[in-house]
Structure 1
Amino acid sequence: MHGIGLRWRQPDHYDWLTSYLKGRRLLVFMRCLMFVVLLIIGASLALTLASPSGPRSPVQRAVTSLAALVLVVIAVWYLYRWPKRRQSQVFSIAGNVCIAAAIMVESDPHTAMIGSVAFVGLAGYVAFCHSAPYLVLTLTMGVATAAVGAARVAAAGDAPMALSSLLMLCGGILAVPFCGQVLVHWLSIDSRKSSTDTLTGLPNRRGFFRSAQALLRHADYRSRPYFTVAMIDLDGFKKLNDTLGHPAGDMVLVAVADSLRHVSGSNTAIARVGGEEFLFAQLCTLDEARDSTEELRKAIAAVPWGVTASFGLASTVIRAPALKPLELIEWLIARADSAMYAAKRSGGNQIRYAEDVPQ
């Protein structure tokens, strides 16, 4: 029960999956694929209106028409843009309702049973993109709809066929999504490991760029926040390694990583990007960025081994959505790096700002 509870509360992989697809230039393909799949389901529902065994009463035809229209509208949305997480969740629920409603009003129970197959694709999408509650909702709707169709077939006098069809449908509806969710779960773990520094547990350079780009994508640029990048380099770290040994150096790096975690929050991105180099990005006001950087400088100076750090800060105000966030981050890192070397040349254990350093 404890394991089930943990699985139930586990967040979805939507943002990671979106970034993964975008990074590998597969997002357009996925949008087109979702458009085609949803359009096919919507068109199949619409075609039942022309069938002699399709919906007959005005209410049945109205429900089927509305369900087909909603699915086509969602399909067109995917053709033009990939939805945000909340929009995708709404689309998933709407897809559940539309498919279930259209199947329930089918006049022919055998047609209704065939229509339940549509839940396999929907459940697969939900398994890849969303959390356990949404998957359970989709699976419950799919199995319940298939069970109603099987009960209608059995009531028509063919109970063995009804049970056979129900078991095959449940096998597909249940097996495919669970396999998909396990697959995406382990893919995300492997991806995070490839973006993580093994010694400190902090993100590496790749992980930093991913987190920093996510900060820029979700920035509320209307409030004109500052995006600040701090380059941090430990002073005298090579001498410490030579005198106390590499195990002591490793403990210093872990202690600095802990200090970064203590200062970081929801609007920050941190990373170890070199032997004794760290990056710290923040989305906040300029004063808040300077205060947190000073707090971090004091925390590193308080590490038992007598280590200090040189800091270089570079900031820019976000006035509009960043069209090329990767280039913006690289530009800020370059400026922060120059400022950090100026701090190191001045004796270390201090903060220098990019605007004070000739570029």
Structure 2
Amino acid sequence: MKWIRQWWLQPDQYRWLSEYLSTSGLQPFARAIISIVTGVFGVVPIMMLWSPSGPHGTVGHAVAIGITVLCAGMALLWATHWPSQRQSELFTVGCNAGVTAGVLVAGDPLTGLLACTTFAPVAGYVALFHSSRLLLLTLANATLTTVASAGRVAMGGDVPLAVGHLLATAIVVLAVPFAGQVLMRLLTLDAMMSHTDPLTGLQNRRGFYRSILTLVPEPGNSPAPLTVSMVDLDGFKKVNDDHGHPTGDQILMAIADNLRRASPINSVVARVGGEEFLIADATDADSVPQAAEQILTAVSSTPWRVTASVGAATTTLVSPNGQAQELIDQLVERADAAMYEAKRAGGNQVCCKPATGVG
């Protein structure tokens, strides 16, 4: 039962997978594939209007045309830009509604049952990009629609055909999201390997920029504070020269553990250089000085008494509308400049700067 609970509690992975595809250069390709597939599906209902097995009557024809218009709109959405998480969820709802409507208005019950296989790519998409809860809703809808379609075939007098196609459709619809979950696991492992610092287990620079997006508000949401702290160890080269690199590695691992424990639970902690760390969290401007002092304490509390210079920059992000990367870059630059001010002032201290013009 434990693995079922873990599967059920799996969070929505749309934002991090979107960033993973972006940093891997695969987002344009994925966007094109989804747009093309959605557009092709939209052609099918119109083509079926000329088939004896297609929808009959005014209602059936209206539904077919409506599905085509819906698919065209969704294909255009993917063709023009990468959707937000909310738009992706609505895309999933639209796909479910379109397939269900198309199946139910099919003139030939067997044609409707065969059309239920269209739920497979929809479920595969949800398995890759969204939560297990949304996947379960998609599979529940697919099951009810498929059973209803099989019932129509059985009522026509061919029960074995209905049962056979029901089982075959169920296998296809279930196999695709299962494969999607396996692929998701492989992508997660690859992301962990490519976004993690092997020495400390913290995020590396690439992982930092991927994970910090979870702190950025979606367009239309309420403004949210965001603080980035740059931490640079003071005189660490001398530590390595005096005690050797193995000891230096032990110090870095100990400091990494302390920074992880001293940071808020939803923060992003990364090692981005030899002795440089970046921390991002939703701390507001009033709390930044205290949070930065906690960082200093976390560094100096190791047995080697190493100190650090900390630069912090904070802002309030207001629905960045696709410019999140640029805003984060500005925030990191401000934090880096503040850190160098602290270092020039003698080190083992904090310099805080509001990141004006970033929010």
Against the structure 1 CA distance between its residues 326 and 70, is the aligned structure 2 distance closer, same or farther, given a 3 Å change threshold?
Answer: closer
Q: Is the 8 A contact 2:216 2:224 kept in 1?
A: no
CA–CA distance in structure 2, aligned partners of residues 214 and 62 of structure 1? 41
CA–CA distance in structure 1, aligned partners of residues 245 and 59 of structure 2? 76
Q: Is the 8 A contact 1:16 1:188 kept in 2?
A: no
**Partner residue in 1 for 2:259:** 260
Shift of 1:11: 0.8
Q: What whole-Å deviation, never above 9, does each CA across 1:291-338 have from its counterpart, x for those lacking one?
A: 311222133333344232122345677678387665665565556445
**Partner residue in 2 for 1:107:** 107
Q: Identify the range of structure 1 (148-157 vs 321-330) with the bigger mean alpha-carbon deviation.
A: 321-330
CA–CA distance in structure 1, aligned partners of residues 38 and 321 of structure 2? 32
**Partner residue in 1 for 2:349:** 350
TM-score, normalised by the number of residues in structure 2? 0.83
CA–CA distance in structure 2, aligned partners of residues 220 and 343 of structure 1? 37
CA–CA distance in structure 2, aligned partners of residues 2 and 320 of structure 1? 38
SS at match of 2:231: strand
Q: What whole-Å deviation, never above 9, does each CA across 1:21-42 have from its counterpart, x for those lacking one?
A: 2223332332332222222222
The two structures, once aligned, show a CA RMSD in angstroms of 3.3
**Partner residue in 1 for 2:276:** 277
Against the structure 1 CA distance between its residues 323 and 245, is the aligned structure 2 distance closer, same or farther, given a 3 Å change threshold?
Answer: same
CA–CA distance in structure 1, aligned partners of residues 55 and 220 of structure 2? 48
Q: Identify the range of structure 1 (187-196 vs 250-259) with the bigger mean alpha-carbon deviation.
A: 250-259
**Partner residue in 1 for 2:189:** 189
SS at match of 1:51: coil
Gaps of 5+ in 1: none
1:297 aligns with 2:296: yes
Against the structure 1 CA distance between its residues 240 and 222, is the aligned structure 2 distance closer, same or farther, given a 3 Å change threshold?
Answer: same
Shift of 1:99: 0.9
Shift of 1:212: 3.8
Against the structure 1 CA distance between its residues 208 and 53, is the aligned structure 2 distance closer, same or farther, given a 3 Å change threshold?
Answer: closer
CA–CA distance in structure 2, aligned partners of residues 325 and 97 of structure 1? 32
CA–CA distance in structure 1, aligned partners of residues 222 and 138 of structure 2? 37
Shift of 1:15: 1.0
1:129 aligns with 2:132: no
1:39 aligns with 2:49: no
Which amino acid in 1 is paired with 2:121?
Answer: G
Q: Is the 8 A contact 2:233 2:275 kept in 1?
A: yes
1:170 aligns with 2:170: yes
CA–CA distance in structure 2, aligned partners of residues 194 and 338 of structure 1? 27
Shift of 1:207: 1.2
Shift of 1:10: 0.7
Q: What whole-Å deviation, never above 9, does each CA across 1:250-271 have from its counterpart, x for those lacking one?
A: 5543442233334434774321
CA–CA distance in structure 1, aligned partners of residues 248 and 52 of structure 2? 79
Q: Is the 8 A contact 2:308 2:349 kept in 1?
A: yes
Which amino acid in 2 is paired with 1:207?
Answer: G
CA–CA distance in structure 2, aligned partners of residues 48 and 134 of structure 1? 30
Which amino acid in 2 is paired with 1:259?
Answer: N
CA–CA distance in structure 2, aligned partners of residues 46 and 6 of structure 1? 42
Q: What whole-Å deviation, never above 9, does each CA across 1:41-69 have from its counterpart, x for those lacking one?
A: 22212333333333224443444443333
Q: Is the 8 A contact 1:338 1:354 kept in 2?
A: no
Against the structure 1 CA distance between its residues 151 and 26, is the aligned structure 2 distance closer, same or farther, given a 3 Å change threshold?
Answer: same
CA–CA distance in structure 1, aligned partners of residues 352 and 214 of structure 2? 24
Against the structure 1 CA distance between its residues 290 and 12, is the aligned structure 2 distance closer, same or farther, given a 3 Å change threshold?
Answer: same
CA–CA distance in structure 1, aligned partners of residues 20 and 201 of structure 2? 21
CA–CA distance in structure 2, aligned partners of residues 101 and 192 of structure 1? 40
CA–CA distance in structure 2, aligned partners of residues 73 and 322 of structure 1? 21
CA–CA distance in structure 1, aligned partners of residues 344 and 198 of structure 2? 30
CA–CA distance in structure 2, aligned partners of residues 62 and 275 of structure 1? 64
1:23 aligns with 2:37: no
Against the structure 1 CA distance between its residues 334 and 156, is the aligned structure 2 distance closer, same or farther, given a 3 Å change threshold?
Answer: closer
Against the structure 1 CA distance between its residues 318 and 97, is the aligned structure 2 distance closer, same or farther, given a 3 Å change threshold?
Answer: closer
Gaps of 5+ in 2: 355-359
SS at match of 1:82: coil
Q: Is the 8 A contact 1:260 1:296 kept in 2?
A: yes
SS at match of 2:347: coil
Shift of 1:120: 1.6
SS at match of 2:25: coil
**Partner residue in 2 for 1:233:** 232
Q: Is the 8 A contact 1:221 1:321 kept in 2?
A: no
SS at match of 2:71: helix
Against the structure 1 CA distance between its residues 54 and 318, is the aligned structure 2 distance closer, same or farther, given a 3 Å change threshold?
Answer: closer
Shift of 1:20: 1.9
**Partner residue in 2 for 1:308:** 307
Q: Identify the range of structure 1 (5-14 vs 43-52) with the bigger mean alpha-carbon deviation.
A: 43-52
Aligned length: 354
Q: Is the 8 A contact 1:216 1:322 kept in 2?
A: no
Q: What whole-Å deviation, never above 9, does each CA across 1:97-137 have from its counterpart, x for those lacking one?
A: 22112212222112112211211221121111112122222
CA–CA distance in structure 2, aligned partners of residues 347 and 219 of structure 1? 41
